[in-house]
């Protein structure tokens, strides 16, 4: 038995692979194209671990996926691979359409062919889990209730539109072909290995580097934050107990305006790693032009996964954000490698040596 993970060298995927192998001996095959966001350094602790097989490759490469599924016969596919950053999708949407839509289509077709060829218990037990986002539901007004699974899809950015399209494909492959799928739509994650282009790691890295902390617009946009290993445990719960064809919204009931997130980070950094001049990192806050089409508020109603699968987050925002800041302070070399692009050289050296 094994599981097949796409995008396992990215932020959430690498946390998932590490978390999985910390709790189970079931081998993991990771397929990742190692785009700018994929970083094998995240998985370095598995270098000599025979339970982990890493394959560099694209989810749009059907022959490669066919070969890997035939060779490893996984019982589960967990699909993380995606272009994931809203700002990048605004500046260059093409790659988002190729990976998030074409890539998901290719993976679904490969999964369908593989699953069709399975028999008996192996066929009955097979699952395709699609990892998606709350951004497919659009933007909430202040008086709206949080997003439930029944909310209509109203994606507003090229990123969320491409993820919405992928969700629809997954749904259709179940409805039409009977492929045993589950989908999770999760709120904003934070934690270790988060690429420093996203709000929380960018603010920590810029603060420590003495750079401006860029707040888009008025900073009152609201996101609902979940510590990354809580997302991993939600996916495990869905794989264990989720019902085929169902969608589960995942979130930690933790809505906060961006400016409060930044202030929380500043308070922690002022305490844990004070500026040399004794001033607060708040001096570095800089309001900048807003993101075009910026969604005002996301919030997740997580009652379904709590009620049906008994899932609860283990971290509060206070415990999770402290762990996150401590991780970034202890791993400044990781941030420097990512920012300088040195992780690509690390990759070339280490991966060439291993393969």
Binding mask 215-254 for ligand NAD (x = CB under 6 A): ----------------------------------------
Query: Distance between the two ends of the chain, CA-based, in angstroms?
Result: 23
Verify binding: residue 34, ligand NAD, rule CB under 6 A: yes
Query: Alpha-carbon distance 174 to 177, whole Å?
Result: 6
> Using CB under 6 A, which residues numbered 286 to 315 contact ligand TYD?
291
**What dihedral angle (degrees, nearest 10) is formed by the CA atoms of 148, 151, 157, 161?**
110
- Quick one: which of 130, 174, 223, 297 contacts ligand TYD (CB under 6 A)? 223
The count of residues interacting with ligand TYD (CB under 6 A) is 12
Stretch that binds ligand TYD, among 49-57, 95-103, 197-205, 279-287 (CB under 6 A): 197-205
Site for ligand TYD contains 215 (CB under 6 A): yes
CA distance 233 to 313: 8
Q: Indicate whether 86 belongs to the interface with ligand TYD (CB under 6 A).
A: yes
**Which of 49, 69, 192 lies closest to 122, judged by CA?**
69
Q: Which residues contact 142 (CB under 8 A, 6 or more apart)?
A: 297
Q: Which residues contact 262 (CB under 8 A, 6 or more apart)?
A: 199, 203, 213, 215, 219, 285
Taking the C-alpha atoms of residue 200 and residue 202, their distance in angstroms, rounded to an integer, is: 5
Burial class (CB in 10 A: 0-12, 13-18, 19+), 253: middle
134 counts as catalytic: yes
CB of 35 to ligand NAD, least distance (A): 4
Task: Single out the segment in contact with ligand TYD by CB under 6 A; choices: 100-108, 213-221, 243-251, 344-352.
Answer: 213-221
Bridge partners of 3, per DSSP, are 28, 76
Under rule CB under 6 A, which residues in 158-197 are in contact with ligand NAD?
163, 186, 188-189, 195
The reply to whether 131 sits near ligand NAD by the rule CB under 6 A is yes
Determine contact, residues 187/251, Cβ cutoff 8 Å: yes
Is 282 a residue that touches ligand NAD (CB under 6 A)?
no
3-state secondary structure of 156: coil
193 is catalytic: no
Q: Whose Cβ is closer to ligand NAD: residue 103's or residue 146's?
A: 103
Q: Which listed range, 30-38, 63-71, 96-104, 195-203, lies at the site for ligand TYD (CB under 6 A)?
A: 195-203
Neighbours of 94 (CB within 10 A): 10
Instruction: Return the active site residues.
Output: 134-135, 159
Chain contacts with ligand NAD (rule: CB under 6 A)? 6-7, 9-13, 32-35, 37-38, 58-60, 80-84, 99, 103, 131-133, 163, 186, 188-189, 195
Chain contacts with ligand TYD (rule: CB under 6 A)? 86, 188, 198-199, 202, 214-216, 221, 223, 258, 291
């Amino acid at each position: 038995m094994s599981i097949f993970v796409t995008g396992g060298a990215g932020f959430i995927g690498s946390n998932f692979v590490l978390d999985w192998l910390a709790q189970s001996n079931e081998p993991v095959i990771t397929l990742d194209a190692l785009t700018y966001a994929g970083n094998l350094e995240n998985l370095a602790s598995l270098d000599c671990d025979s339970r982990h097989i890493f394959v560099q490759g694209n989810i749009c490469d059907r022959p490669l996926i066919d070969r890997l599924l035939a060779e490893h016969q996984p019982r589960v596919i967990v699909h993380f691979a995606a272009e994931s950053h809203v700002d990048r999708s605004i500046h260059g949407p093409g790659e988002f359409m190729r990976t998030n839509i074409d890539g998901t289509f290719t993976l679904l077709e490969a999964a369908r062919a593989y699953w069709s060829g399975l028999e008996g218990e192996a066929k009955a037990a097979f699952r395709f889990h699609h990892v998606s986002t709350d951004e497919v539901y659009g933007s909430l007004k202040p008086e709206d209730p949080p997003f439930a699974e029944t909310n209509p899809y109203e994606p507003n950015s090229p990123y969320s539109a491409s993820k919405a399209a992928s969700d629809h494909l997954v749904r259709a492959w179940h409805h039409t072909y009977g492929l045993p799928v589950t989908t999770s739509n999760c709120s904003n994650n934070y934690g270790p290995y988060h690429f420093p282009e996203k709000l929380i790691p960018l603010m920590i890295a810029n603060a420590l580097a003495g750079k401006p902390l860029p707040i888009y617009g008025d900073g009152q946009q609201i996101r609902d934050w979940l510590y990354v290993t809580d997302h991993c445990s939600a996916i495990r719960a869905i794989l264990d107990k989720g019902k085929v064809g169902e969608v589960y919204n995942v979130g930690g009931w933790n809505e906060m305006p961006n400016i409060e997130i930044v202030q929380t980070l500043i308070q922690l950094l002022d305490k844990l790693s004070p500026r040399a001049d004794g001033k607060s990192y708040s001096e570095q806050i800089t309001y900048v032009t807003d993101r075009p089409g910026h969604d005002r508020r996301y919030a997740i109603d997580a009652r379904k996964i709590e009620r049906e699968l008994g899932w609860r987050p283990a971290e509060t925002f206070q415990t999770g954000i402290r762990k996150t800041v401590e991780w970034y302070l202890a791993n400044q070399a990781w941030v420097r490698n990512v920012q300088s692009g040195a992780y690509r050289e690390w990759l070339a050296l280490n991966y060439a040596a291993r393969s």
